[in-house]
Structure 1
Amino acid sequence: MKALSLSKPLQAALLLTAALTAIALLKPDALDTPAAPPSQVHASQDRTSTSPGSGAPWMRPAGEEWRPSDAEQRRAAEAAVAAAAPVVPLAPPIPPPKPTAPDPGLTYLGRIDQDGRSYVFLGKGADPQVVEIGSLVDPQWRVEKASATQIELRYLPLNEIRMIPVTAAQ
């Protein structure tokens, strides 16, 4: 049985990674020297320095805070804005439709005036009803008016008017 082995390029990459990790872990901490005023910083940059930190850019004097450059801050802000999902305002909720009166299911059958009172004959399915104008057909409908062309019914729960056309009897 053949043993598993790593290719030469993969072995080299792993060795290089291990070496760079060891170097990164061996970096010394920041120096315990006080921070110099800005005027002295510019002067010390002009002369060659033999301080231990001159060849190590990762070392900072103690008390000096790390701060990203303005360009890095700008790039980070632009990336955050680009990564943020666009804010889409929510559409206002659609109000439910206003309730309307149902179809009364009544048909005009005729009209009669007797003793100063007016009555209409309405058909509800197979049952004819005689209703005085101004009285209730059922608990939800009341006959309001009767004219030569239409009967006006009021749907009491919504106080809504519905018309029934008056058709000539054949």
Structure 2
Amino acid sequence: MKPPSLSKPLQAGLLMTVMLTAIALLKPEALDASVTDGSPVRAASNQKTGTDLRPQAPWIRLAGEEWKPSDAELQKAADALVAAAAPVVTPPPVVEPPKPTAPDPALAYLGRIDQDGRHYVFLGRGADPQVVEIGGLVDPQWKVEKATATQVQLRYLPLNEVRSIPVAAVQ
């Protein structure tokens, strides 16, 4: 049994959540009072003293200051999301197998005879000559359809396909 797994989009979403959670946990806390060296920073109230000084430590966030990730952090998170997302792979096109065709009948035209209003052809398979009435079966797979002065038409019954045997001038 195959163990359950997460889809690629869900994995990418979870990775993004983990990254943003880590960034949020690493952000500095806001200060309500002055920095420990005694210099005024920013008061917790909305009044400005005119002597707002930014502390020398950039990781310290002042009270009332909104934290936003830097452009570099946003770009890094976006790049990680793109890298985590699996590329879309299109399935290969479905190639249909070639349509089956009738085999070569392996018969040779030997002659033709008309007797009592019935038409017969002489066909040879190797050293085995056969006399077949037009419309009759040569074997369970081949049927003689018609015979003209230039060709004999045979039908391959399993595929219902017609093949022709050329009629050569018999000496």
Q: TM-score, normalised by structure 1?
A: 0.61
For 2:49 and 2:107, how far apart are their aligned partners in 1? 104
Q: Does 1:94 align with 2:95?
A: yes
Question: Counterpart in 1 of 2:170?
Answer: 169
Cα deviation per residue 1:6-54 (whole Å; 9 max; x = unaligned)? xxxxxxxxxxxxxxxxxxxxxxx73585xx9xx949x5896126xxxx3
Shift of 1:145: 0.3
Query: Quick check: 2:107–2:124 contact (8 Å CA) kept in 1?
Result: yes
What letter is aligned with 1:130?
V
Aligned to 2:36: none
**Higher RCO (CA 8 Å, separation ≥ 6 residues):** 2
**Consecutive aligned runs of 4 or more in structure 1 exceeding 3 Å deviation:** 29-33, 43-46, 59-67, 74-91
Q: CA RMSD in A?
A: 3.7
User: 1:73 offset after TM fit, Å?
Assistant: 2.1
Q: How many residues were matched structurally? A: 133
Shift of 1:64: 8.2
SS in structure 1 at match of 2:138 = strand
Matching residue of 2:159: 158
Q: Secondary structure at the match of 1:73?
A: helix
TM-score, scaled to structure 2: 0.60
Give the aligned partner of residue 52 of structure 2.
47
**Structure 2 residue 35 is the aligned partner of structure 1 residue 30:** no
Matched, 1:120 2:121: yes
Give 1 or 2: higher helix fraction: 1
Are residues 1:149 and 2:154 paired? no
In structure 1, stretches of 5+ residues that fail to align are 1-28
